[in-house]
Amino acid sequence: MKISGAQALIESLKKEGVEIVFGYPGGTVLPIYDVLYGEKAIKHILPRHEQGSTHAADGYARVTGKVGVCIATSGPGATNTITGIATAFMDSIPMVIITGQVATPLIGRDSFQEADITGITQPITKHNYLVKTAEEIPRVIKEAFYIASTGRPGPVVVDIAKDAQVNKFDFKYPDKVNLPGYKPTLKGDPEQVKAAAKLIAESKKPLIYAGGGVIASGAAAELTEFARKLNTPVTTTLMGLGAFPETDKLALQMLGMHGTAFANYAVQECDLLIAVGARFDDRVTGHLPSFAPKAKHIQIDIDPAEIGKNVRIDVPIVGDVKQTLKELNALIPVKAGRHLAWLKQIEEWKNKFPLSYKKNNFIKPQYVIEMIDEVTKGEAIICTEVGQHQMWAAQFFKFTKPRTWVSSGGLGTMGYGFPASIGAQFGRPDSTVFNIAGDGSIQMNIQELATAVIHKLPIKIVVLNNSFLGMVRQWQELIYEKRYSSTNLCNNPDLVKIAEAYGAKAMRITDQTKVKAALEEAMKITDGPVLLDFSVDKEENVLPFVPPGQALNEMIID
Protein backbone atom coordinates (compact mmCIF):
# COMPACT_ATOMS: atom_id res chain seq x y z
CA MET A 1 0.00 0.00 0.00
CA LYS A 2 1.41 3.38 -1.03
CA ILE A 3 1.51 6.20 1.53
CA SER A 4 2.66 9.81 1.34
CA GLY A 5 6.02 11.03 2.52
CA ALA A 6 4.33 12.80 5.42
CA GLN A 7 2.63 9.57 6.47
CA ALA A 8 5.96 7.76 6.09
CA LEU A 9 7.61 10.31 8.37
CA ILE A 10 5.07 9.77 11.15
CA GLU A 11 5.23 5.99 10.75
CA SER A 12 9.04 6.19 10.93
CA LEU A 13 8.88 8.24 14.12
CA LYS A 14 6.60 5.61 15.64
CA LYS A 15 9.07 2.89 14.63
CA GLU A 16 11.71 4.83 16.60
CA GLY A 17 9.50 4.84 19.67
CA VAL A 18 8.71 8.56 19.57
CA GLU A 19 5.77 9.42 21.84
CA ILE A 20 5.94 13.22 21.88
CA VAL A 21 7.03 15.93 19.46
CA PHE A 22 7.26 19.68 19.93
CA GLY A 23 6.47 21.78 16.90
CA TYR A 24 5.07 24.87 15.24
CA PRO A 25 3.16 24.52 11.95
CA GLY A 26 3.68 26.48 8.73
CA GLY A 27 3.23 26.25 4.99
CA THR A 28 5.92 23.72 4.10
CA VAL A 29 5.01 21.27 6.89
CA LEU A 30 1.23 21.33 6.37
CA PRO A 31 1.25 17.77 4.94
CA ILE A 32 2.95 16.56 8.14
CA TYR A 33 0.48 18.41 10.35
CA ASP A 34 -2.44 17.02 8.39
CA VAL A 35 -1.24 13.52 9.26
CA LEU A 36 -0.66 14.52 12.90
CA TYR A 37 -4.27 15.75 13.11
CA GLY A 38 -5.62 12.25 13.47
CA GLU A 39 -2.57 10.64 15.06
CA LYS A 40 -3.11 8.95 18.43
CA ALA A 41 0.28 7.36 19.14
CA ILE A 42 2.31 10.58 19.02
CA LYS A 43 1.41 13.57 21.17
CA HIS A 44 2.12 16.94 19.58
CA ILE A 45 2.89 19.94 21.81
CA LEU A 46 2.55 23.45 20.41
CA PRO A 47 4.96 25.89 22.08
CA ARG A 48 4.61 29.57 21.23
CA HIS A 49 7.92 29.95 19.39
CA GLU A 50 10.17 27.60 17.40
CA GLN A 51 13.04 28.31 19.78
CA GLY A 52 10.75 27.09 22.55
CA SER A 53 10.16 23.89 20.57
CA THR A 54 13.86 23.08 20.29
CA HIS A 55 14.60 23.86 23.94
CA ALA A 56 11.60 21.78 25.04
CA ALA A 57 12.81 18.83 22.96
CA ASP A 58 16.26 19.34 24.44
CA GLY A 59 14.93 19.35 28.04
CA TYR A 60 12.90 16.22 27.30
CA ALA A 61 16.04 14.49 26.00
CA ARG A 62 18.14 15.47 29.01
CA VAL A 63 15.79 14.07 31.65
CA THR A 64 14.79 10.90 29.76
CA GLY A 65 17.90 9.96 27.81
CA LYS A 66 15.70 9.58 24.72
CA VAL A 67 16.02 11.49 21.45
CA GLY A 68 14.09 14.78 21.56
CA VAL A 69 12.08 15.63 18.44
CA CYS A 70 10.79 18.96 17.15
CA ILE A 71 9.23 20.23 13.92
CA ALA A 72 9.43 23.63 12.24
CA THR A 73 8.44 25.08 8.90
CA SER A 74 10.88 26.49 6.32
CA GLY A 75 12.58 29.88 6.28
CA PRO A 76 12.01 31.82 9.51
CA GLY A 77 10.55 28.78 11.23
CA ALA A 78 13.71 26.80 10.58
CA THR A 79 16.06 29.67 11.40
CA ASN A 80 14.24 30.20 14.71
CA THR A 81 15.50 26.76 15.76
CA ILE A 82 19.17 27.72 15.35
CA THR A 83 19.82 28.77 18.95
CA GLY A 84 18.23 25.58 20.25
CA ILE A 85 20.23 23.43 17.85
CA ALA A 86 23.49 25.13 18.81
CA THR A 87 22.63 24.70 22.50
CA ALA A 88 22.09 20.96 22.03
CA PHE A 89 25.23 20.62 19.91
CA MET A 90 27.47 22.27 22.50
CA ASP A 91 26.06 20.07 25.29
CA SER A 92 25.93 16.81 23.27
CA ILE A 93 22.15 16.33 23.50
CA PRO A 94 20.46 13.78 21.17
CA MET A 95 17.82 15.50 19.04
CA VAL A 96 16.20 15.17 15.62
CA ILE A 97 14.99 18.48 14.23
CA ILE A 98 12.56 18.10 11.32
CA THR A 99 12.14 21.14 9.11
CA GLY A 100 10.04 21.75 6.04
CA GLN A 101 11.60 23.00 2.82
CA VAL A 102 10.12 24.53 -0.31
CA ALA A 103 9.29 22.12 -3.14
CA THR A 104 12.32 20.80 -5.01
CA PRO A 105 11.73 22.85 -8.22
CA LEU A 106 11.86 26.01 -6.05
CA ILE A 107 15.03 25.20 -4.11
CA GLY A 108 17.82 27.66 -4.86
CA ARG A 109 15.53 30.26 -6.42
CA ASP A 110 15.11 32.52 -3.37
CA SER A 111 11.56 31.28 -3.09
CA PHE A 112 9.11 32.48 -0.44
CA GLN A 113 10.25 31.31 3.00
CA GLU A 114 13.25 29.47 1.59
CA ALA A 115 16.41 29.17 3.69
CA ASP A 116 19.36 26.82 3.25
CA ILE A 117 18.92 25.28 6.67
CA THR A 118 21.29 22.38 6.00
CA GLY A 119 24.01 24.87 5.05
CA ILE A 120 23.23 27.14 7.99
CA THR A 121 23.27 24.31 10.55
CA GLN A 122 26.24 22.35 9.21
CA PRO A 123 28.64 23.68 11.88
CA ILE A 124 26.17 23.08 14.76
CA THR A 125 24.81 19.62 13.97
CA LYS A 126 26.28 16.18 14.22
CA HIS A 127 24.85 15.57 10.75
CA ASN A 128 22.06 16.89 8.55
CA TYR A 129 19.99 15.86 5.53
CA LEU A 130 18.13 17.53 2.69
CA VAL A 131 15.40 15.09 1.62
CA LYS A 132 14.07 15.62 -1.92
CA THR A 133 12.13 12.38 -2.49
CA ALA A 134 9.56 10.53 -0.42
CA GLU A 135 11.44 7.26 -0.84
CA GLU A 136 14.38 8.63 1.17
CA ILE A 137 12.38 9.38 4.31
CA PRO A 138 12.44 5.96 6.09
CA ARG A 139 16.19 5.49 5.60
CA VAL A 140 17.02 9.06 6.60
CA ILE A 141 14.92 8.93 9.79
CA LYS A 142 16.48 5.61 10.77
CA GLU A 143 19.95 7.05 10.25
CA ALA A 144 19.12 10.34 11.96
CA PHE A 145 18.03 8.66 15.20
CA TYR A 146 21.02 6.34 15.12
CA ILE A 147 23.50 9.17 14.62
CA ALA A 148 21.85 11.42 17.21
CA SER A 149 21.87 8.79 19.95
CA THR A 150 25.10 6.84 19.46
CA GLY A 151 28.72 7.75 20.05
CA ARG A 152 28.87 11.31 21.33
CA PRO A 153 25.20 12.34 21.12
CA GLY A 154 24.10 15.42 19.24
CA PRO A 155 21.42 17.08 17.09
CA VAL A 156 20.58 15.96 13.55
CA VAL A 157 18.55 18.14 11.16
CA VAL A 158 16.25 16.51 8.59
CA ASP A 159 15.05 19.08 6.04
CA ILE A 160 12.21 17.67 3.89
CA ALA A 161 11.01 19.29 0.67
CA LYS A 162 7.26 19.83 0.53
CA ASP A 163 6.73 17.68 -2.57
CA ALA A 164 8.60 14.81 -0.85
CA GLN A 165 5.97 15.00 1.89
CA VAL A 166 3.13 14.73 -0.63
CA ASN A 167 4.37 12.12 -3.09
CA LYS A 168 3.44 8.48 -2.44
CA PHE A 169 5.55 5.31 -2.43
CA ASP A 170 5.63 1.78 -1.03
CA PHE A 171 6.67 2.27 2.60
CA LYS A 172 9.10 -0.09 4.29
CA TYR A 173 11.10 0.83 7.36
CA PRO A 174 14.71 -0.45 7.34
CA ASP A 175 15.81 -2.92 9.99
CA LYS A 176 19.31 -1.47 10.35
CA VAL A 177 21.52 1.37 9.23
CA ASN A 178 24.50 1.09 6.92
CA LEU A 179 26.94 3.93 7.58
CA PRO A 180 30.45 2.68 6.78
CA GLY A 181 32.01 6.03 7.67
CA TYR A 182 30.42 6.22 11.11
CA LYS A 183 31.66 3.63 13.60
CA PRO A 184 31.92 5.01 17.15
CA THR A 185 34.55 3.34 19.30
CA LEU A 186 32.86 1.88 22.38
CA LYS A 187 35.57 -0.31 23.87
CA GLY A 188 38.72 1.37 25.10
CA ASP A 189 42.07 -0.05 24.06
CA PRO A 190 42.93 -2.77 26.65
CA GLU A 191 46.57 -1.69 26.89
CA GLN A 192 45.56 1.92 27.54
CA VAL A 193 43.10 0.81 30.21
CA LYS A 194 45.92 -1.17 31.89
CA ALA A 195 48.23 1.85 31.63
CA ALA A 196 45.57 3.99 33.30
CA ALA A 197 45.18 1.45 36.11
CA LYS A 198 48.96 1.51 36.64
CA LEU A 199 49.04 5.31 36.90
CA ILE A 200 46.13 5.21 39.32
CA ALA A 201 47.89 2.64 41.52
CA GLU A 202 51.03 4.82 41.66
CA SER A 203 49.18 8.05 42.46
CA LYS A 204 49.24 9.60 45.94
CA LYS A 205 46.80 12.48 45.24
CA PRO A 206 44.40 11.37 42.51
CA LEU A 207 41.34 13.41 41.59
CA ILE A 208 38.38 12.39 39.42
CA TYR A 209 37.08 15.13 37.12
CA ALA A 210 33.68 14.03 35.77
CA GLY A 211 31.71 15.69 32.98
CA GLY A 212 28.54 15.39 30.96
CA GLY A 213 29.80 12.24 29.25
CA VAL A 214 29.10 10.34 32.47
CA ILE A 215 25.43 11.40 32.26
CA ALA A 216 25.20 10.68 28.52
CA SER A 217 26.56 7.16 28.87
CA GLY A 218 24.49 6.31 31.96
CA ALA A 219 27.64 5.70 33.98
CA ALA A 220 26.79 7.32 37.33
CA ALA A 221 26.78 3.99 39.18
CA GLU A 222 30.12 2.96 37.66
CA LEU A 223 31.64 6.34 38.53
CA THR A 224 30.47 6.04 42.13
CA GLU A 225 31.96 2.54 42.39
CA PHE A 226 35.20 3.81 40.86
CA ALA A 227 35.50 6.71 43.33
CA ARG A 228 34.73 4.60 46.37
CA LYS A 229 37.13 1.84 45.33
CA LEU A 230 39.87 4.43 44.94
CA ASN A 231 38.71 6.37 48.02
CA THR A 232 39.45 9.53 46.08
CA PRO A 233 37.55 12.82 45.64
CA VAL A 234 35.30 13.66 42.71
CA THR A 235 34.68 17.05 41.18
CA THR A 236 32.18 17.60 38.39
CA THR A 237 31.70 20.08 35.60
CA LEU A 238 28.51 22.11 35.21
CA MET A 239 27.26 19.47 32.75
CA GLY A 240 28.29 16.65 35.10
CA LEU A 241 26.14 17.69 38.07
CA GLY A 242 24.28 14.63 39.37
CA ALA A 243 26.88 12.19 38.05
CA PHE A 244 28.18 11.73 41.61
CA PRO A 245 26.10 12.34 44.76
CA GLU A 246 27.09 15.65 46.31
CA THR A 247 26.07 14.36 49.74
CA ASP A 248 28.96 11.86 49.59
CA LYS A 249 32.05 12.68 51.66
CA LEU A 250 34.18 12.31 48.51
CA ALA A 251 32.21 14.96 46.61
CA LEU A 252 33.89 18.29 45.84
CA GLN A 253 30.95 19.60 43.80
CA MET A 254 31.67 21.79 40.77
CA LEU A 255 35.11 23.08 39.74
CA GLY A 256 36.15 25.99 37.57
CA MET A 257 35.29 29.67 37.24
CA HIS A 258 32.47 29.50 39.81
CA GLY A 259 33.40 26.17 41.33
CA THR A 260 34.07 25.50 44.97
CA ALA A 261 37.38 26.73 46.35
CA PHE A 262 38.20 23.26 47.68
CA ALA A 263 37.62 21.68 44.25
CA ASN A 264 39.87 24.22 42.56
CA TYR A 265 42.62 23.85 45.15
CA ALA A 266 42.42 20.07 44.75
CA VAL A 267 42.88 20.38 40.98
CA GLN A 268 45.97 22.51 41.46
CA GLU A 269 47.51 20.11 44.00
CA CYS A 270 46.60 16.67 42.65
CA ASP A 271 49.26 14.44 41.09
CA LEU A 272 46.81 12.60 38.82
CA LEU A 273 43.71 14.06 37.17
CA ILE A 274 41.30 11.46 35.79
CA ALA A 275 39.01 13.15 33.27
CA VAL A 276 35.89 11.06 32.71
CA GLY A 277 33.62 12.28 29.92
CA ALA A 278 34.93 15.83 30.25
CA ARG A 279 36.60 18.10 27.70
CA PHE A 280 38.79 20.58 29.64
CA ASP A 281 36.81 23.63 28.52
CA ASP A 282 37.96 27.15 29.34
CA ARG A 283 35.43 27.66 32.17
CA VAL A 284 37.02 24.67 33.92
CA THR A 285 40.71 25.25 33.29
CA GLY A 286 41.11 28.99 33.79
CA HIS A 287 44.61 30.00 32.67
CA LEU A 288 45.46 26.90 30.67
CA PRO A 289 49.27 26.82 31.20
CA SER A 290 48.66 26.97 34.98
CA PHE A 291 45.98 24.26 35.08
CA ALA A 292 46.74 21.22 37.28
CA PRO A 293 50.49 21.90 37.12
CA LYS A 294 51.54 18.93 39.27
CA ALA A 295 49.32 16.31 37.63
CA LYS A 296 49.54 13.62 35.04
CA HIS A 297 46.37 13.25 33.00
CA ILE A 298 44.10 10.36 32.06
CA GLN A 299 41.24 11.18 29.70
CA ILE A 300 38.33 8.87 28.90
CA ASP A 301 36.05 10.11 26.12
CA ILE A 302 34.04 8.55 23.31
CA ASP A 303 34.92 11.43 20.97
CA PRO A 304 38.53 11.12 19.75
CA ALA A 305 38.50 14.80 18.74
CA GLU A 306 38.33 15.77 22.43
CA ILE A 307 41.35 13.73 23.48
CA GLY A 308 44.24 16.09 24.12
CA LYS A 309 42.46 19.03 22.44
CA ASN A 310 43.21 21.47 25.26
CA VAL A 311 45.52 19.63 27.68
CA ARG A 312 48.36 17.18 27.06
CA ILE A 313 47.15 13.69 28.01
CA ASP A 314 49.45 11.00 29.40
CA VAL A 315 47.00 8.11 28.98
CA PRO A 316 44.23 8.67 26.43
CA ILE A 317 41.33 6.21 26.26
CA VAL A 318 38.83 6.52 23.42
CA GLY A 319 35.72 4.63 24.39
CA ASP A 320 32.33 4.66 26.08
CA VAL A 321 32.63 5.95 29.64
CA LYS A 322 30.32 3.33 31.16
CA GLN A 323 32.15 0.42 29.53
CA THR A 324 35.61 1.83 30.27
CA LEU A 325 34.82 2.42 33.94
CA LYS A 326 33.56 -1.16 34.22
CA GLU A 327 36.92 -2.36 32.86
CA LEU A 328 38.87 -0.10 35.22
CA ASN A 329 36.79 -1.17 38.21
CA ALA A 330 37.62 -4.79 37.43
CA LEU A 331 41.35 -3.96 37.54
CA ILE A 332 41.29 -1.98 40.78
CA PRO A 333 41.55 -4.15 43.90
CA VAL A 334 39.67 -3.30 47.09
CA LYS A 335 42.19 -1.77 49.47
CA ALA A 336 41.44 -0.08 52.78
CA GLY A 337 43.07 3.14 53.88
CA ARG A 338 43.79 4.63 50.48
CA HIS A 339 44.81 8.30 50.20
CA LEU A 340 44.08 9.24 53.80
CA ALA A 341 46.59 12.09 53.87
CA TRP A 342 45.16 13.50 50.63
CA LEU A 343 41.62 13.31 51.97
CA LYS A 344 42.72 15.03 55.18
CA GLN A 345 44.07 17.93 53.12
CA ILE A 346 40.78 18.06 51.17
CA GLU A 347 38.81 18.16 54.42
CA GLU A 348 40.93 21.08 55.67
CA TRP A 349 40.12 23.04 52.49
CA LYS A 350 36.43 22.21 52.88
CA ASN A 351 36.40 23.52 56.44
CA LYS A 352 38.40 26.64 55.61
CA PHE A 353 36.64 27.58 52.33
CA PRO A 354 33.02 26.41 52.43
CA LEU A 355 30.41 27.81 50.07
CA SER A 356 28.94 30.70 52.03
CA TYR A 357 27.31 34.10 51.77
CA LYS A 358 26.80 37.09 54.04
CA LYS A 359 23.29 37.53 55.38
CA ASN A 360 21.60 40.93 55.64
CA ASN A 361 18.06 42.32 55.47
CA PHE A 362 17.65 41.45 51.78
CA ILE A 363 16.56 38.10 50.34
CA LYS A 364 19.75 36.30 49.44
CA PRO A 365 19.51 34.29 46.22
CA GLN A 366 21.67 31.54 47.69
CA TYR A 367 19.18 31.18 50.53
CA VAL A 368 16.32 30.72 48.06
CA ILE A 369 18.22 27.84 46.43
CA GLU A 370 18.94 26.28 49.82
CA MET A 371 15.24 26.45 50.65
CA ILE A 372 14.32 24.80 47.32
CA ASP A 373 16.69 21.97 48.23
CA GLU A 374 15.10 21.74 51.69
CA VAL A 375 11.41 21.79 50.69
CA THR A 376 11.98 19.26 47.87
CA LYS A 377 14.31 17.13 50.01
CA GLY A 378 16.65 17.18 47.03
CA GLU A 379 14.09 15.30 44.93
CA ALA A 380 13.54 17.70 42.04
CA ILE A 381 14.56 18.34 38.48
CA ILE A 382 16.28 21.72 38.39
CA CYS A 383 16.19 23.62 35.09
CA THR A 384 17.87 26.99 34.75
CA GLU A 385 18.28 29.92 32.46
CA VAL A 386 21.82 31.36 32.21
CA GLY A 387 23.48 33.83 34.55
CA GLN A 388 24.08 34.30 38.26
CA HIS A 389 21.00 32.29 39.21
CA GLN A 390 22.38 29.35 37.21
CA MET A 391 25.63 29.36 39.15
CA TRP A 392 23.88 29.72 42.53
CA ALA A 393 21.66 26.77 41.62
CA ALA A 394 24.73 24.73 40.68
CA GLN A 395 26.46 25.66 43.94
CA PHE A 396 23.72 25.49 46.57
CA PHE A 397 21.37 22.70 45.42
CA LYS A 398 22.79 19.29 46.33
CA PHE A 399 22.50 17.02 43.28
CA THR A 400 22.47 13.32 44.03
CA LYS A 401 21.08 11.75 40.84
CA PRO A 402 21.81 11.99 37.12
CA ARG A 403 19.37 13.65 34.71
CA THR A 404 18.06 16.05 37.35
CA TRP A 405 20.05 19.08 36.15
CA VAL A 406 18.94 20.79 32.93
CA SER A 407 20.99 23.82 31.96
CA SER A 408 22.77 25.32 28.95
CA GLY A 409 26.46 24.79 29.61
CA GLY A 410 28.51 25.22 26.46
CA LEU A 411 26.49 27.90 24.67
CA GLY A 412 25.13 29.70 27.73
CA THR A 413 21.69 30.35 26.25
CA MET A 414 19.49 32.88 28.03
CA GLY A 415 15.85 31.88 27.59
CA TYR A 416 16.69 28.16 27.60
CA GLY A 417 15.45 27.09 31.01
CA PHE A 418 11.71 27.70 30.90
CA PRO A 419 10.92 25.89 27.62
CA ALA A 420 13.41 23.18 28.67
CA SER A 421 11.46 22.77 31.93
CA ILE A 422 8.31 22.20 29.85
CA GLY A 423 10.08 19.40 27.97
CA ALA A 424 11.39 18.02 31.26
CA GLN A 425 7.90 17.98 32.81
CA PHE A 426 6.50 16.13 29.79
CA GLY A 427 9.40 13.68 29.93
CA ARG A 428 9.08 13.06 33.68
CA PRO A 429 5.45 13.89 34.52
CA ASP A 430 5.68 12.48 38.05
CA SER A 431 8.71 14.60 38.99
CA THR A 432 8.79 18.02 40.62
CA VAL A 433 10.27 20.44 38.10
CA PHE A 434 11.71 23.83 39.00
CA ASN A 435 12.81 26.48 36.55
CA ILE A 436 15.25 28.85 38.24
CA ALA A 437 15.54 32.10 36.31
CA GLY A 438 16.74 35.66 36.37
CA ASP A 439 14.51 38.59 35.53
CA GLY A 440 16.47 39.06 32.30
CA SER A 441 16.43 35.45 31.09
CA ILE A 442 12.80 34.69 31.93
CA GLN A 443 11.59 37.38 29.53
CA MET A 444 13.33 35.81 26.54
CA ASN A 445 10.82 32.97 26.21
CA ILE A 446 8.11 34.06 28.65
CA GLN A 447 5.44 33.37 26.02
CA GLU A 448 5.79 29.67 26.85
CA LEU A 449 3.65 30.36 29.91
CA ALA A 450 0.76 29.74 27.52
CA THR A 451 2.06 26.23 26.80
CA ALA A 452 2.51 25.41 30.48
CA VAL A 453 -0.93 26.74 31.40
CA ILE A 454 -2.78 24.95 28.57
CA HIS A 455 -1.23 21.61 29.52
CA LYS A 456 -1.56 22.25 33.27
CA LEU A 457 2.12 21.61 33.88
CA PRO A 458 2.95 22.11 37.59
CA ILE A 459 6.30 23.79 36.96
CA LYS A 460 7.63 26.02 39.72
CA ILE A 461 9.17 29.13 38.12
CA VAL A 462 11.51 30.82 40.58
CA VAL A 463 12.70 34.25 39.43
CA LEU A 464 15.65 35.68 41.34
CA ASN A 465 14.82 39.28 40.50
CA ASN A 466 17.65 41.77 41.03
CA SER A 467 16.62 44.21 38.25
CA PHE A 468 19.95 43.61 36.51
CA LEU A 469 21.51 41.37 33.92
CA GLY A 470 23.25 39.98 36.96
CA MET A 471 26.26 38.10 35.65
CA VAL A 472 27.19 40.84 33.19
CA ARG A 473 26.75 43.43 35.96
CA GLN A 474 29.05 41.37 38.20
CA TRP A 475 31.80 41.46 35.58
CA GLN A 476 31.25 45.20 35.14
CA GLU A 477 31.63 45.64 38.89
CA LEU A 478 34.76 43.54 39.27
CA ILE A 479 36.51 44.30 35.97
CA TYR A 480 35.03 47.55 34.63
CA GLU A 481 34.91 49.67 37.83
CA LYS A 482 31.10 49.51 38.18
CA ARG A 483 30.37 51.04 34.79
CA TYR A 484 26.98 49.36 34.45
CA SER A 485 26.55 49.80 30.72
CA SER A 486 23.10 48.58 29.58
CA THR A 487 22.69 46.04 32.38
CA ASN A 488 20.20 47.87 34.61
CA LEU A 489 16.71 46.46 33.99
CA CYS A 490 14.97 49.28 35.88
CA ASN A 491 11.95 49.18 33.55
CA ASN A 492 11.17 45.53 34.18
CA PRO A 493 7.49 44.64 33.77
CA ASP A 494 5.41 43.24 36.60
CA LEU A 495 6.16 39.52 36.20
CA VAL A 496 3.33 38.56 38.55
CA LYS A 497 0.79 40.33 36.37
CA ILE A 498 2.26 38.81 33.21
CA ALA A 499 1.99 35.31 34.68
CA GLU A 500 -1.58 35.94 35.79
CA ALA A 501 -2.47 37.31 32.33
CA TYR A 502 -1.47 33.92 30.89
CA GLY A 503 -3.63 32.17 33.49
CA ALA A 504 -0.80 31.06 35.78
CA LYS A 505 -0.65 31.51 39.53
CA ALA A 506 1.97 33.93 40.79
CA MET A 507 3.25 35.60 43.92
CA ARG A 508 5.87 38.21 44.84
CA ILE A 509 8.14 37.67 47.84
CA THR A 510 10.06 40.57 49.36
CA ASP A 511 10.65 39.27 52.91
CA GLN A 512 13.34 36.66 53.57
CA THR A 513 11.31 35.17 56.44
CA LYS A 514 8.58 34.23 53.96
CA VAL A 515 10.78 32.45 51.38
CA LYS A 516 10.28 28.92 52.66
CA ALA A 517 6.52 29.36 53.15
CA ALA A 518 6.13 30.63 49.58
CA LEU A 519 8.00 27.62 48.21
CA GLU A 520 5.91 25.25 50.33
CA GLU A 521 2.74 26.89 49.00
CA ALA A 522 4.02 26.53 45.44
CA MET A 523 4.67 22.83 46.02
CA LYS A 524 0.95 22.36 46.75
CA ILE A 525 -0.09 23.74 43.34
CA THR A 526 -0.44 20.81 40.97
CA ASP A 527 -2.89 22.03 38.33
CA GLY A 528 -0.58 24.40 36.46
CA PRO A 529 2.55 26.54 36.68
CA VAL A 530 3.28 29.00 39.46
CA LEU A 531 5.71 31.92 39.20
CA LEU A 532 7.48 33.13 42.34
CA ASP A 533 9.09 36.55 41.93
CA PHE A 534 11.76 36.90 44.63
CA SER A 535 13.12 40.42 45.10
CA VAL A 536 16.75 39.60 45.88
CA ASP A 537 19.83 41.61 46.85
CA LYS A 538 20.61 43.65 43.73
CA GLU A 539 24.41 43.57 43.88
CA GLU A 540 25.01 40.09 45.26
CA ASN A 541 27.88 38.35 43.46
CA VAL A 542 28.57 34.72 42.59
CA LEU A 543 31.65 33.61 44.51
CA PRO A 544 34.14 32.01 44.22
CA PHE A 545 35.10 33.67 40.94
CA VAL A 546 38.20 32.94 38.87
CA PRO A 547 38.80 36.11 36.82
CA PRO A 548 39.57 35.63 33.13
CA GLY A 549 43.22 34.77 32.53
CA GLN A 550 43.84 33.64 36.11
CA ALA A 551 44.72 30.22 37.49
CA LEU A 552 42.16 28.24 39.49
CA ASN A 553 43.96 28.94 42.76
CA GLU A 554 43.77 32.71 42.08
CA MET A 555 40.09 32.91 42.96
CA ILE A 556 38.18 35.80 44.43
CA ILE A 557 36.63 34.01 47.42
CA ASP A 558 35.31 36.89 49.55
Catalytic annotation, residues: 50, 112-113, 162, 471
Nearest alpha carbon to residue 60 among 381, 449, 394, 372:
381
Question: In this structure, are residues 388 and 542 in contact, taking their beta carbons and an 8 Å threshold?
Answer: yes
Q: How many CA atoms lie within 13 A of 305 on its CB side?
A: 3
d(CA 146, CA 176): 9
Question: In this structure, are residues 201 and 328 in contact, taking their beta carbons and an 8 Å threshold?
Answer: no
Which residues contact residue 226 at a Cβ distance below 8 angstroms, ignoring those fewer than 6 apart? 208, 276, 325, 328, 329, 332
The amino acid sitting at 13 is: L
**Crossing angle (nearest 10°) for helices 190-202 and 321-331:** 60
Neighbours of 359 (CB within 10 A): 11
d(CA 44, CA 174): 25
Mark out the alpha helices in 180-255 (DSSP H runs): 190-202, 212-216, 220-230
Q: Which residues pair with 272 in a beta bridge?
A: 206, 296
d(CA 456, CA 458): 6
d(CA 463, CA 499): 12
Question: In this structure, are residues 382 and 434 in contact, taking their beta carbons and an 8 Å threshold?
Answer: yes
The amino acid sitting at 55 is: H
CA 159 to chain centre: 25
Peptide bond into 544 cis (omega under 30): yes
Nearest alpha carbon to residue 540 among 335, 387, 377:
387
d(CA 275, CA 297): 7
Q: Which residues pair with 222 in a beta bridge?
A: none
d(CA 161, CA 29): 9
Torsion of CA 511, 516, 521, 526, to 10 degrees: 130
d(CA 372, CA 170): 54
Question: In this structure, are residues 3 and 168 in contact, taking their beta carbons and an 8 Å threshold?
Answer: yes
